Amino acid sequence: MLKVKSYSKSYNNHTIVAVENLEIPEGIHWFKGINGSGKSTIFRSVAGIIPFEGEISWHNLDIRKDAVSYRMLVNMSEADPHYPDYLSGFDLLNFIAEAKKADPSQLKKLSEILGVDVYWKSAIGTYSSGMLKKISLLSAFLGKPSLIMLDEPLITIDDRSVQIIYELVKEYAEKQGVSFLLSSHQDFRFEKLAIKNMYLVQNQTITQL
């Protein structure tokens, strides 16, 4: 279970999201909200990418006290990923795979499925937004995560890639018991997934629908 307590995140004394108590069980969950509502902020907080006030834990691992163990279980693909232009996708993904202790065969398989092996030896600065997005999405599946967050996973990628991501989510959820937090500012296209709960990110807080 993901537990969020007394959480708040502010920028320049302006509160973006504040949550007193939120408990999210295992399963696939959908976070809805308009652009700028705070979906990315809460996802990035749970991923340990940005600092915040409050407490966050997953499977009783505290994000601060059990930092390394926590991050081995929690992966994220950002909505609008940014990486150093001079790196290649190959080098970046191999670095992440090593950090996540992923089996080399896993990276090879995912790169072929998503088609990034065709271009990943080139510098990231030459990538289109769709190419960059697929690198980010692939990275979220590396290792042995038990929670994967995909922030706006459907934007900038083609329909074939959307179907591949759908199949990956379904496979990891059903065969490996991985939980997912999926966000979207529009109607979701993963209708066939077993969505357990939906949450609305609005008015600086999160409400279960």
**Could you write out the three-class secondary structure of the chain?**
CEEEEEEEEEECCEEEEEEEEEEECCCEEEEECCCCCCHHHHHHHHCCCCCCEEEEEECCEECCCCHHHHHHHEEEECCCCCCCCCCEHHHHHHHHHHHCCCCHHHHHHHHHHHCHHHCCCCEHHHCCHHHHHHHHHHHCCCCCCCEEEEECCCCCCCHHHHHHHHHHHHHHHHHHCCEEEEEECCCCCCCCCCEEEEEEEECCEEEEC
Residue 20 clears pLDDT 90, i.e. is over it: yes
Q: Which domain range does residue 103 map to?
A: 2-208
Mean pLDDT score, 2-11 = 96
Residue 41 clears pLDDT 70, i.e. is over it: yes
Most confident of 26-35, 111-120, 157-166: 111-120
Residues present in the chain in total: 209
The CATH number of the domain holding residue 201 is 3.40.50.300
Mean pLDDT score, 39-44 = 96
Indicate the pLDDT class of residue 194, thresholds 50, 70 and 90. Answer: confident
Predicted local distance difference test score (pLDDT) of residue 15 = 93
Report how many domains make up the chain: 1
Q: pLDDT tens across 144-178, in order? A: 999 999 999 988 999 899 999 999 999 999 999 99
Pairing of strands 195-202, 205-208: antiparallel
Residues near 122 by beta carbon (within 8 Å), at least 6 away in sequence: 88, 89
- The letter for the amino acid at 97 is A
Q: pLDDT tens across 58-109, in order? A: 999 999 999 999 999 999 999 999 999 999 999 999 999 999 999 989 999 9
Residue 191 clears pLDDT 70, i.e. is over it: no
Q: What's the sign of the alpha-carbon dihedral 43, 49, 54, 58?
A: positive
Q: How many angstroms separate the CA atoms of 141 and 76, rounded? A: 8
Residue 189 clears pLDDT 70, i.e. is over it: no
Predicted local distance difference test score (pLDDT) of residue 145 = 97
Q: What's the sign of the alpha-carbon dihedral 46, 48, 54, 58?
A: positive
Indicate the pLDDT class of residue 142, thresholds 50, 70 and 90. Answer: very high
Q: How many angstroms separate the CA atoms of 185 and 35, rounded? A: 6
